[in-house]
Structure 1
Amino acid sequence: MERLTVMDMGYVELIKEIKSGNLRNLYLFYGSEEILIREIVNFIRKTLVKKEVDEMNYSLVEGKDEELEDIIALAETMPFFSQKRVVVIRDFLSLIGDRDSEKTFTDFIENLPSHICMILISSTVDKRKKIYKSIEKKGIVTEFQPLKGNALIRWIEERFSHEGKKIDKRTALFLANTFNRNLEELDSEIKKAITYVGEEKEFIKQDDILPILRKTLENNVFLLIDALGQKDFRRAISILNDMLKEGESSIWILFMIIRQIRLIYRCLILLQNGLSFKDIQETLKEHPFVLKKAITQGNNFSLKQLNHALNFALETDVEIKKGVIEPKLAIEILLLKVSAVLS
């Protein structure tokens, strides 16, 4: 099989390769998404190391706490009743303090024993360094960036599937949009949702998990704009108060309100100009779920009403920044003005 280069091997491709049984002697995992790195490491561990001898053939060490010579000795030790020994080194660059240690480690990398599967982990890497080039040449390098689009949707679906649950596409999209900035938080919410619905319910929909999901600012702003569009001023004020109680900044709430009104306005203009959804997405560079929500909300407003609402919001922003009015009161008055325009 032709070796995949560092540019070829992303998270999804790596999963497929491991599942196919094609495992390498050397991996370098780096990037911001630690939860994905942990998943891959555990997957490799379960694939290569028998459970009954797991502790003898699997080692997780911190580079900053170990000596390079000890790591090499550990890696050279033959596995016990197994074909492979898995050695995971977190913050492996801490082992390389000077040129001599880099050369020692590079020489070892280039002559790895066949019984070893070494996984090197780092938050960042310097691709100009000799050690990086040696790792790239001998093994697989994967940068773990935040998942997006279909990759994130599949990750969510697999998360539920692993627990014997199925989730509909609409709910997966909702979760992806709501928590797409933090996989750790998303994972926590999925675990809470699975616990909440219980063992008996296998197919999960959005209504099943909404009661226990943390209401993020973005989702609450969706709900607030929905309330305004439905001419429900009291509900809009209630949602605003909930956001403030949760510790959200008034300035940030206003920013998100302005952003959402502007997005709805732009979507409505593009639709009236005959653009397709795909064209709108390419123009505005927004997540499909966000755009669909904005387009749906646009059904409750005219361009004239949105223009008034946006002007009110921008005037409110100026008044708050000048200290003319207290932020919470200013946003309440804004919601009242918008409601009056819609009535």
Structure 2
Amino acid sequence: MERDFTIVFMQTINQDIKTGQFHRAYLLYGEEDYLKLQYRDRLVRALTGGQESMNFSRMEGDDCDLKGLIDLAQTMPFFADHRCILIMESGFFNSSNDELAAYLETVPETAVLIFVEKAVRKSTRPFKAITKYGYACEFLKPDERTLMQWIGGRLSKEKKTMSPEAWREFFLRSGENMENMEREYEKLVTYCLDRERIELDDVRAITSRPLNNRVFDLIDAMARRDGKLLLEHYADMIAAKEPPLRILSLIERQFIQMLAVRQMSSDHLSDREIGQKIAVSPYIVGKIRRSSESYSQEQIRQLLADASDMEERIKTGKITDRLGVEVLMMRYAR
């Protein structure tokens, strides 16, 4: 439901851009950076034509100064309807800044403020003020259904379709990341330029697999007690210059997620509810659950303890990183 609210909020910004009737202040916040920055740039272009305009100003991080911001907003635009001021990661919405809250009520019609923040506190006065006198839009990570609709819409414009098997593999390889999915989509469409339908083999031939997905291969081989396949996957990752300690960290993360999925499943949460809590798709929740069935809860906890001990041995030089991770994995693939 929250993601549906996000779509409604984005439609409101689209309507503002279409009609040219802008709010005096916008707050774009949340964890989905790709969409957030897309809408930031769309607003800036609609207001000033781009960041090179003399009616555009930008502040970021420690350079965000409220007095300077107010002075800029009070300055009349040069032969234009609006002066656009972009404020990036100011932290203004993490505390009760009374001066900002009061100013948001009086921003002149000739200025539009665009705040872009990763995180905000909704209980603060500035947040309440911008929702009352401006417009706030939270950008949440989209679920699989939303991503499928997004890619499906783009494929329709290209007069192409994708088989269900191809979509599943594409979704897994993209890592549920919109920016990465955009890159992989462009590669895939170019590769299939002369064909209307994208098949599984096309996805496997041209798209990249992120490290997280390759770790699933390791975990699956461990769960099946297939030491030969496990070492093959590990060698491929080493050949791709993946650091062994990073691989170890992701293995630990997967087993921590196994414990979480088990606990929440026993509490009768659905895969969708579990996915929301651990920030993965329901499909990935299913993969984690299936892998966890090969180990008892005690074995998972012991593996996590052994992984922590192995990391200490590697960092103190008692064993090389590549050999240490291999020894740990093979211990649990027997």
TM over 0.5: yes
Residue identity in the other structure for 1:112: E
The question of 1:122 aligning with 2:121 is answered no
Q: Report the CA distance between 1:332 and its aligned residue.
A: 2.3
Q: Counterpart of 1:226? A: 220
Q: Counterpart of 1:82? A: none
How far apart, in 2, do the equivalents of 1:103 and 1:319 lie? 51
Residue identity in the other structure for 2:212: E
State the TM-score, normalized to the length of structure 2: 0.64
How far apart, in 2, do the equivalents of 1:135 and 1:312 lie? 49
Q: Counterpart of 1:35? A: 34
CA contact (8 A) 2:104 2:134 kept: no
Q: Report the CA distance between 1:40 and its aligned residue.
A: 2.6
CA contact (8 A) 1:177 1:289 kept: no
CA contact (8 A) 1:148 1:180 kept: no
Change (3 A) 1:15 1:206: farther
Map 1:208-247 to 2 at 5 A: 208-229=202-223, 232-247=226-241
Q: Report the CA distance between 1:12 and its aligned residue.
A: 0.9
How far apart, in 2, do the equivalents of 1:245 and 1:33 lie? 32
Change (3 A) 1:310 1:72: closer
Q: Report the CA distance between 1:237 and its aligned residue.
A: 1.3
Q: Counterpart of 1:139? A: 134
Q: Deviations over 1:27-64 (max 9, x none)?
A: 33244544313433565688x79xxx968x99654257
CA contact (8 A) 2:54 2:78 kept: no
How far apart, in 1, do the equivalents of 2:21 and 2:171 lie? 31
Residue identity in the other structure for 2:36: I
Q: Counterpart of 1:328? A: 322
Q: Counterpart of 1:62? A: 58
Q: Report the CA distance between 1:294 and its aligned residue.
A: 3.0
Residue identity in the other structure for 1:193: L
Change (3 A) 1:225 1:17: same
How far apart, in 2, do the equivalents of 1:194 and 1:182 lie? 18
Q: Counterpart of 2:306? A: 315
- Structure 1 counterpart of 2:109, from 108, 112, 128: 112
Q: Which has the larger radius of gyration?
A: 1
Map 1:246-265 to 2 at 5 A: 246-260=240-254
Q: Report the CA distance between 1:289 and its aligned residue.
A: 1.6
Specify every segment of 5 or more residues in structure 1 that has no aligned partner in the other structure, as ranges: 1-6, 80-84
Map 1:143-222 to 2 at 5 A: 143-148=138-143, 150-158=145-153, 160-161=155-156, 163-167=158-162, 172=167, 179=174, 182-195=177-190, 197-222=191-216
Change (3 A) 1:13 1:226: same
Count residues with an aligned counterpart: 310
Q: Deviations over 1:178-214 (max 9, x none)?
A: 555754333333333333x232234334442234433
The question of 1:91 aligning with 2:82 is answered no
Q: Report the CA distance between 1:244 and its aligned residue.
A: 2.9
**RMSD of the TM alignment (CA)?**
5.1
Specify every segment of 5 or more residues in structure 2 that has no aligned partner in the other structure, as ranges: none
Q: Deviations over 1:55-99 (max 9, x none)?
A: 8x99654257998666555558566xxxxx6x54322798x9xx9
Q: Report the CA distance between 1:288 and its aligned residue.
A: 0.9
State the TM-score, normalized to the length of structure 1: 0.63
